[in-house]
């Protein structure tokens, strides 16, 4: 059976001369407006290249987009409650902690801070819920897929750390608006939703700074040793400086935090003589950048301090895949949300999520995956592209891990089959004109929540981003070099 399709916003293919001309203009626009990244292969701090982008905005059903926007504050509050439920986190992560050293180190820091007494009860959550349209329809009595190219949308994951693209999301709309105007179709821009993700995310940092309420305090961005996604990171700083020029922002690696900061007797994190009000982690520290002992010590120092963290350690634990899988279990959402309509709405967005623990349900999940590996994805605990296992490799990995505790470090998720759309992907250094290819998209909805266990100070949806990849590609991370920037073109279906 052929995969469902959505129609592009313009008739394709474009005439060759028109295509070449508009791409050259768009590339220059991209470089002059921060649609850029540093080259991983030939790194040079003084050089950026265009970030991969899709030439035209990708179609997305308006009703589903609005549902995702409206649901984000509900998801924000759910994550906030999960992060503050010590018993649930302990029970949910106990098996993964035995085999996943990264998560175990996070958990150890959490225990130490809890036992010493938490110095800062306020957490700043800057979350991103990633979703995809599902073209397969499970409703045999009402085959909605016969009438539309999709059935529903499903959550891929929710990110609690390094939820990037606050700048690149909105600027994707801007570059595609420019392209549509150049092609004589500026009238279509009205179907692209406004996107204020950058100002919305930065307002969360500013509100947390004000809640800290200490004179001469500063904001600290924690960054990688080498930053490739520099435009997205720096525009957050520029936005804060424009809104609040008096707020001083530092960028430091964990190694620099280890060397240059200290805790005073008030448990304030002191940097260059200033107390740090907000610590914003711009890096999730994936396996390729696994933290050293010094970096773990720096993370512990930050967590012990009075600084408001984004994320705090318990927020990062709440964002692990094991926790997301556990939330899909019977009665778990009801524990946090009660049994109202919001609970049903959240449960509806979950795709199949299965534990691989050494128990009856874990064995059933292994058997399912071995029998039909193409249906599933193996996901480790950490966030970011490039870590998941797909297709026949799922069978190979589970065969290897079947009798090893290593398998408890993963969850099993049913693959989502989104509808296809035809389009052009523009990449740095790639031949022009590019071929017309089949693409699939993943929508990310941003949320900000600030609060303690007892009180929520703010909770809102603040913007979105769209990442699009080749239909036959498994991963789609733009920073990982696997996808491209895009924005939604809303359709009434």
User: What pLDDT was estimated at residue 132?
Assistant: 94
157 vs 14, 130, 478, CA distance in Å? 35, 5, 16
Q: Is 415 annotated among the ligand-binding residues?
A: yes
Rounded-to-10 torsion of CA 214, 217, 223, 229: 100
Q: Is 64 annotated among the ligand-binding residues?
A: no
3-state secondary structure at position 186: helix
User: What pLDDT was estimated at residue 341?
Assistant: 93
3-state per-residue secondary structure call for 241-308: HHHCCCCEEEEECHHHHHHHEEECCCCCEEECCEEEEEEEECCCCCHHHCCCHHHHHHHHHHHHCCCE
> pTM of the prediction?
0.94
pLDDT over 90 at 387, yes or no: no
User: What pLDDT was estimated at residue 62?
Assistant: 96
Q: Which residue has the tokens 């301090």?
A: 305
Cα gap 466→378, rounded to integer Å: 23
Kindly provide the b/e burial profile for residues 382-406, where b requires at least 16 CB atoms within 10 angstroms of the residue's own CB: bbbbebbbbeeebbebbeebeeeee
pLDDT over 90 at 291, yes or no: no
Cα gap 27→5, rounded to integer Å: 28
pLDDT greater at residue 81 or residue 282: 81
Cα gap 203→197, rounded to integer Å: 10
Q: Is 27 annotated among the ligand-binding residues?
A: no
Q: Is 213 annotated among the ligand-binding residues?
A: no
User: What pLDDT was estimated at residue 459?
Assistant: 98
DSSP assigned state of 219: E
Q: Which residue has the tokens 């398998």?
A: 407
pLDDT over 50 at 287, yes or no: no
Average pLDDT (394-399) is: 92
User: What pLDDT was estimated at residue 285?
Assistant: 55
pLDDT over 60 at 476, yes or no: no
Q: Is 11 annotated among the ligand-binding residues?
A: no
User: What pLDDT was estimated at residue 144?
Assistant: 57
User: What pLDDT was estimated at residue 405?
Assistant: 87
User: What pLDDT was estimated at residue 109?
Assistant: 96
pLDDT over 70 at 448, yes or no: yes
pLDDT over 50 at 1, yes or no: no
Q: Is 79 annotated among the ligand-binding residues?
A: no
The number of C-alpha atoms within 13 Å of 457 and in the hemisphere containing its C-beta is 19
Percent share of the chain, pLDDT over 90: 78
Q: Is 136 annotated among the ligand-binding residues?
A: no
3-state secondary structure at position 421: strand
Residues in the chain: 493
Average pLDDT (247-253) is: 96
Q: Count Cβ atoms within 10 A of the Cβ of residue 55 and give its class: 0-12 exposed, 13-18 middle, 19 or more buried.
A: buried
Q: Is 384 annotated among the ligand-binding residues?
A: yes
Q: Is 116 annotated among the ligand-binding residues?
A: no
Four-residue CA torsion sign, 250, 251, 253, 259? negative
Q: Is 324 annotated among the ligand-binding residues?
A: no
User: What pLDDT was estimated at residue 472?
Assistant: 87
Model pLDDT for residues 312-366, shown as the tens digit of each residue = 999 999 999 999 999 999 999 999 999 899 999 999 999 899 999 989 999 999 9
Q: Is 334 annotated among the ligand-binding residues?
A: no
Cα gap 281→123, rounded to integer Å: 13
Four-residue CA torsion sign, 29, 35, 38, 42? negative
Q: Is 467 annotated among the ligand-binding residues?
A: yes
439 vs 234, 284, 356, 451, 484, CA distance in Å? 29, 27, 31, 39, 10
Model pLDDT for residues 37-77, shown as the tens digit of each residue = 999 889 999 999 999 999 999 999 999 999 999 999 999 99
∠ CA 458-464-467, nearest 5°, is 145
Q: Highest mean pLDDT range out of 27-31, 40-44, 95-99, 377-381? A: 27-31
DSSP, residue by residue, 202-234: HHHHHHHHHHH--TT-EEEEE--SS-S-HHHHH
288 φ/ψ sector (left φ>0, alpha ψ -120 to 50, else beta): alpha
192 vs 55, 56, 173, 189, CA distance in Å? 14, 11, 7, 5
Q: Is 386 annotated among the ligand-binding residues?
A: yes
CB 104 within 8 A of CB 316: no
Q: Is 413 annotated among the ligand-binding residues?
A: yes
The number of C-alpha atoms within 13 Å of 330 and in the hemisphere containing its C-beta is 1
User: What pLDDT was estimated at residue 286?
Assistant: 52
User: What pLDDT was estimated at residue 409?
Assistant: 86
Confidence at 226, pLDDT banded by 50, 70, 90? confident
Q: Is 442 annotated among the ligand-binding residues?
A: yes
Q: Which two tokens stand for residue 231?
A: 């435009």
User: What pLDDT was estimated at residue 227?
Assistant: 87
Confidence at 478, pLDDT banded by 50, 70, 90? low
pLDDT over 90 at 147, yes or no: no
DSSP assigned state of 41: T
Q: Is 266 annotated among the ligand-binding residues?
A: no
User: What pLDDT was estimated at residue 268?
Assistant: 98
CB 401 within 8 A of CB 370: no
pLDDT over 80 at 485, yes or no: yes
CB 4 within 8 A of CB 420: yes
pLDDT over 80 at 34, yes or no: yes
pLDDT over 50 at 442, yes or no: yes
Cα gap 221→200, rounded to integer Å: 17
CB 184 within 8 A of CB 351: no
Kindly provide the b/e burial profile for residues 131-164, where b requires at least 16 CB atoms within 10 angstroms of the residue's own CB: bbbbbbbeeeeeeebeebbbbbbbbbbbbbbbbb
Confidence at 481, pLDDT banded by 50, 70, 90? low
Q: Which two tokens stand for residue 412?
A: 């099993």
Average pLDDT (138-151) is: 60
User: What pLDDT was estimated at residue 382?
Assistant: 66
CB 432 within 8 A of CB 50: no
Model pLDDT for residues 427-440, shown as the tens digit of each residue = 999 999 999 999 99
Q: Is 381 annotated among the ligand-binding residues?
A: yes
DSSP, residue by residue, 119-162: S---EEEEEEEEEEEE-----SSS-GGGTSS-SEEEEEEEE-S-
pLDDT over 70 at 257, yes or no: yes
Rounded-to-10 torsion of CA 225, 487, 79, 201: 60
Write down the mean pLDDT value for the chain. 91
Q: Is 303 annotated among the ligand-binding residues?
A: no
């Amino acid at each position: 059976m052929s995969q469902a399709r959505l129609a592009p916003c313009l008739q394709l293919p474009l005439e060759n001369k028109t295509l070449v001309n508009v791409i050259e203009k768009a590339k220059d626009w991209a470089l002059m407006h921060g649609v850029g990244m540093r080259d991983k292969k030939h790194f040079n701090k003084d050089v950026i290249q265009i970030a991969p982008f899709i030439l035209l905005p990708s179609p997305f059903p308006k009703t589903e987009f609005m549902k995702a926007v409206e649901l984000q504050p509900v998801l924000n509050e759910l994550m906030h409650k999960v992060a503050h439920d010590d018993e649930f986190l302990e029970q949910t992560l106990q098996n993964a902690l035995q085999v996943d050293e990264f998560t175990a180190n996070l958990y150890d820091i959490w225990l130490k801070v809890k036992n010493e007494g938490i110095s800062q009860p306020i957490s700043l959550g800057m979350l991103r819920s990633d979703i995809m349209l599902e073209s397969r329809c499970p409703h045999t009595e009402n085959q909605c897929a016969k009438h539309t190219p999709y059935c529903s949308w499903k959550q891929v994951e929710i990110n609690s750390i390094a939820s990037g693209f606050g700048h690149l999301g909105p600027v994707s709309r801007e570059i595609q608006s420019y392209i549509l105007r150049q092609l004589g179709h500026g009238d279509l821009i009205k179907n692209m939703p406004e996107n204020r993700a950058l100002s919305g995310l930065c307002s969360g940092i500013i509100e947390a700074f004000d809640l800290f309420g200490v004179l001469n305090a500063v904001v600290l961005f924690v960054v990688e040793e080498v930053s490739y996604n520099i435009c997205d990171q720096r525009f957050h700083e520029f936005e804060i400086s424009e809104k609040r020029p008096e707020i001083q922002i530092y960028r430091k690696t964990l190694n620099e935090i280890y060397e240059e900061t200290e805790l005073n007797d008030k448990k304030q994190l002191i940097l260059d003589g200033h107390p740090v009000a907000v610590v914003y982690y711009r890096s999730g520290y994936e396996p390729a950048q696994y933290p050293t002992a010094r970096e773990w010590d720096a993370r512990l120092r930050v967590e012990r301090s009075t600084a408001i963290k984004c994320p705090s350690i318990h927020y990062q634990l709440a964002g692990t895949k094991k926790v997301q899988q556990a939330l899909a279990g019977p009665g778990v959402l009801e524990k946090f949300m009660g049994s109202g309509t919001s609970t049903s709405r959240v449960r509806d967005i979950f795709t199949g999520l299965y534990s691989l623990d050494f128990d009856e349900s874990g064995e059933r999940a292994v058997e399912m995956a071995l029998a039909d590996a193409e249906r599933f994805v193996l996901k480790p605990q950490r966030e970011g592209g490039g870590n998941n296992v797909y297709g026949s490799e799922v069978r190979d990995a589970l065969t290897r891990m079947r009798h090893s505790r290593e398998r408890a470090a993963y969850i099993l998720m049913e693959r989502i089959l989104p509808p296809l759309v035809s389009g052009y992907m523009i990449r740095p250094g790639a031949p022009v004109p590019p071929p017309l290819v089949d693409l699939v998209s993943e929508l990310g909805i941003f949320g900000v929540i600030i609060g303690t266990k007892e009180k929520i100070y703010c909770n809102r949806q603040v913007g979105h981003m769209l990442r699009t990849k080749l239909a036959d590609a498994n991963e789609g991370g733009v920073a990982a070099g696997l996808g491209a920037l895009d924005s939604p073109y809303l359709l009434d279906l």
